[in-house]
Amino acid sequence: MTKPAITFPLIFTLLTFIDVSSSASIVFNVVSFGAKPDGVTDSTAAFLKAWQGACGSASSATVVVPTGTFLLKVITFGGPCKSKITFQVAGTIVAPEDYRTFGNSGYWILFNKVNRFSLVGGTFDARANRFWSCRKSGQNCPPGVRSISFNSAKDVIISGVKSMNSQVSHMTLNGCTNVVVRNVRLVAPGDSPNTDGFTVQFSTGVTFTGSTVQTGDDCVAIGQGTRNFLISKLACGPGHGVSIGSLAKQLNEDGVENVTVSSSVFTGTQNGVRIKSWARPSTGFVRNVFFQNLIMKNVQNPIIIDQNYCPSKQGCPTEHSGVKISQVTYKNIQGTSATQQAMNLACSKSNPCTGITLQDIKLIYNKGTPATSFCFNAVGKNLGGDTHMSSLAPVMEKQESFRGNSVEEQQSLRCVGAEDQVRKGRALEKQVSFLAGNVVEKHGIKGRAMENRERPMERQRSFRGFVEKQKSFRVVMERQLSFMNAGGERKQKTESPGKRGDSPLHIGARTGNLGKVMELIRGCSGTEELKELLSKQNLEGETPLYSAAENGHSLVVEEILKHMDLDTASIKARNGFDPFHVAAKQGHLEALKKLLETFPNLAMTVDLSCTTALHTAATQGHIDVVNLLLKTDSHLAKIAKNNGKTALHSAARMGHREVVKSLIGNDASIGFRTDKKGQTALHMAVKGQNEGIVLELVKPDPAVLSVEDNKGNAPLHIATNKGRIKIVRSLVSFDEINLNAMNKAGDTALDIAEKIGNPELVSVLKEAGAATAKDLGKPQNPAKQLKQTVSDIKHEVQSQLQQSRQTGVRVRRIAKRLKKLHINGLNNAINSATVVAVLIATVAFAAIFTIPGQYEEDRTKGLLLLGEARIANKAPFLIFFIFDSLALFISLAVVVVQTSVVVIEQKAKKKLVFVINKLMWLACLFISIAFVSLSFIVVGKEDIWLAICATIIGGTIMLTTIGAMSYCVVMHRIEESKLKSLRKERSQSKSFSLSHMPLESEILNGEFNKRMYAL
């Protein structure tokens, strides 16, 4: 099963957060609206006034709750608002101690329909002690309220918040979208009733990371309608772990899908990761769930699916759960179980769990005996790896009933892993029962013969695929019995190396099986064989000593070291770590002691980046390991990585105060060591949130406050730029601090605070006496002036280039439109020419038969032939006949060309139109001459002046028209020639100057803006 794709809009939310925190915003301080930081006066009205002002602001706004304690009753911060809002809390908000004041509201603080909202910092104390006492006494108590609730919110960031002593739930999301919750602490006593930590339902795109939950119920409760939910870096305990459900409360309910729980630690919790539903019909589902990289520390039920959930154990439903569970992956889950049964998969009898995947499950019963698993109606696969738990193979014991009210009472089918039983030394009787794959009834019928066990196994349809892969159960029985008759000893050649290429010694060392390790070592016949065995590396480059040291098996480490030299003990894995280094990283103190006792020089080993084991342990916060290594060699603290950072740098940045204190106590001078950026450990510490570390670093010598990095930034500059208000307050409290020191950019700390738009930082610095560079009257840094000038030029050039691109786009758009107009114009001209040609041909053809005087109709009356024109011998008729014929045949030629030739290319079409137009000019001119010539015959000699007038008028009009058109043709050709020359010059130019822009205007004005031209 692949990890479910969870698409979260983290880019948007992170940009929102950066924008909110960095841009200038209007500040609404609740104290200015009448809030009293005394913890007694009701400040509810003042908070609402401040919120209303911020919500109505057209620009981004910040509601500031300063230091102090503020009392709030039930309050709703309603939206949507006009702009982004940051709710920044520096103090503590408390609820009334009298829980009756909440009534049946269901919530204490509600953010309803807020968008683009950030809740930053602060402590919220619901003071629920009296409410818990009422609950525990069994009195008639109100239902309780949720501390911080978000309803129908979108694009929300919650950071650095601490919620204490909630009545029901610390933080709840209902119907929300795109929410990031990070670095929060949700705290209540482990015995507080029903105090969930983080509750989500009907929400999409939620991220819950880097947080700590200590409470009396679920650390994270995932309800129906939850999709795309990521939980990472969670520290849970005490509490009931991470729970999906309970579902099947109703028949019609939404499901849960695309949930990932990763890189988290569960300490002393009742459950680890749990999926629970009531035994009722339901349309709900749970699918695409991924549990990976989890550490269990003394957890009662590390892995659990419970589809018969009924916590009260009274009046429990007896139906089958309708919730369909599918595609659930458990990968790399390790640690200790407080109960022997570490995995319990109790699925619905009518809806089996499908697509269950197990990989690298390493859970050990904390009393030293092997952990077991328990499953019913679960279909899936075991991908192997270092899976020390029982697998999903169909080797089961059938229990008498599946009607129990809780997981502890359920009598279901328990999966058993054969190899684990052999490796752990189970009795032969149990091995026969488990390894043979037979089904044995547990209550009163354990002694049933083995031949009767095969039939129930065939009835387990959920594992039919696995059963079909087995060629014969009889063969399996014979092999297992033969295997056990040989004394249960596993031959080395049958041990699978697995995907990591582990040898049997690797597996024994990793699992802490001292007996197995000793057996393998003693089985070597000579020194060379032993050396080869101990130095053998798997695919990751890890030796058996590395595997034992990584997992903290000190006894195994001690045994292997007895037979090993320094060179073999120093072999590095592919990640650059040797056994000593990886033990320091994991904090395995006893293993380190064994290594140092044998080879003290291992303390000086480094990885690929020149990181010592001390540096790695300091980064992880392993104070005992740090003290051990400093005791071994105090000079280790001075060794720096390739980037110049010492162990003190990393410990200060990661917030490990005790480690910092130990390193400084060993050698105070390392506080002045700088890395390649010129930064000291104090520079690193002020980037975090731990004031104590800052005090520890300044205490030996306050002069460290004035050390500047390569950019001239003192620690005060760094803390201000990071927005660390508490750190800035601590720094300005030292008398030795230089409040007005300027970095190489010419900025003081106050300049930086004003740039990032943090009004509270500005206020803190001004109160301490800080000033801006301008107030100090110091000239601006020349380098900064040059940088600003270059920036201005860059922006100007970019602006001009953008305008040039936009102009080019406009020109191309205009050219496209004009080209279309040209095409339409040519088509219209061709169509018009065809019509005119047909018209002239028609007139010219008809004219010869309608001449004045008509034709000779009677041969006997005259000398003319029959049908001969009576004016045929006159000169005007001859002129008419010639020019009328020319007009006719020219027009017919045009019609033939138009109806026969199809021209597609625009250039050819223009040439065709040019030729046709000239022919039509001639046809029009010839038909005009034919008309004028006949006019001399029609008017007679007495009125010949009329014919002369017609000739003058016609000649003037036609000659003027043709002359004007000829002039247009000539001018068009001249302008077109000029434009071609301009284009040629431009194409030959290699300059990309913006001076070409006027040329575009010339082109537009010269060619594209023409309304009319002649062809």
Q: Provide the annotated active-site residues.
A: 240
What share of residues in the chain are helix, strand, coil (percent, to 5)?
45, 20, 35
Total residues belonging to the chain: 1015
If DSSP codes are grouped into helix, strand and coil, which group holds residue 519?
Answer: helix
Measured over all CA atoms, what is the biggest interatomic distance in the chain, rounded to whole angstroms?
155
DSSP per-residue codes, 70-139: EE--SEEEE---SS-EEEEE-SEEE--S-GGGGTT--EEEEEES-EEEEEES-EEE---HHHHHHHHHT-
- Report the Cα–Cα distance between both ends of the chain, in Å, rounded: 74
Bridge partners of 154?
A: 115, 177
Structure tokens at 869: 């024109």
Which of 404, 285, 426 has the alpha carbon at shortest distance from 344?
404
Residues 6 or more apart whose CB falls under 8 angstroms from that of 352 comprise 377, 378, 379, 462
Indicate left, alpha or beta for 674 from its phi (over 0: left) and psi (-120 to 50: alpha): beta
Structure tokens at 664: 């400084």
Return d(Cα 590, Cα 484) in angstroms, integer. 37
Other beta carbons less than 10 A from residue 6's beta carbon? 18
Does the CA dihedral 76-80-81-84 come out positive or negative?
positive
- Evaluate whether 763 touches 67 at the Cβ level (below 8 Å): no
Return d(Cα 552, Cα 583) in angstroms, integer. 7
Cis amide leading into 238 (omega within 30): yes
Structure tokens at 511: 């699992």
769 exposed, middle or buried (CB, 10 Å; 0-12, 13-18, 19+)?
exposed
Structure tokens at 818: 């004009």
**Vertex 96: Cα angle to 93 and 99 (nearest 5):** 130
Other beta carbons less than 10 A from residue 448's beta carbon? 14
Question: Do β-strands 92-94 and 154-159 pair in parallel, antiparallel, or remain unpaired?
Answer: unpaired
For 958-986, b/e burial (b = at least 16 CB within 10 A) is: beeeeeeeeeebeeeeeeeeeeeeeeeee
Which of 110, 43, 49, 53 has the alpha carbon at shortest distance from 81?
53
Which of 395, 287, 294, 277 has the alpha carbon at shortest distance from 346?
277
Structure tokens at 619: 């980064």
Indicate left, alpha or beta for 777 from its phi (over 0: left) and psi (-120 to 50: alpha): left
Return d(Cα 714, Cα 737) in angstroms, integer. 10
User: What single-letter DSSP state applies at residue 707?
Assistant: -
- Position of tokens 């950026």? 677
Return d(Cα 8, Cα 10) in angstroms, integer. 5
Residues 6 or more apart whose CB falls under 8 angstroms from that of 180 comprise 10, 13, 14, 17, 156, 157, 158, 159, 206, 207, 209
- Evaluate whether 239 touches 218 at the Cβ level (below 8 Å): yes
Return d(Cα 595, Cα 561) in angstroms, integer. 8
Return d(Cα 521, Cα 533) in angstroms, integer. 8
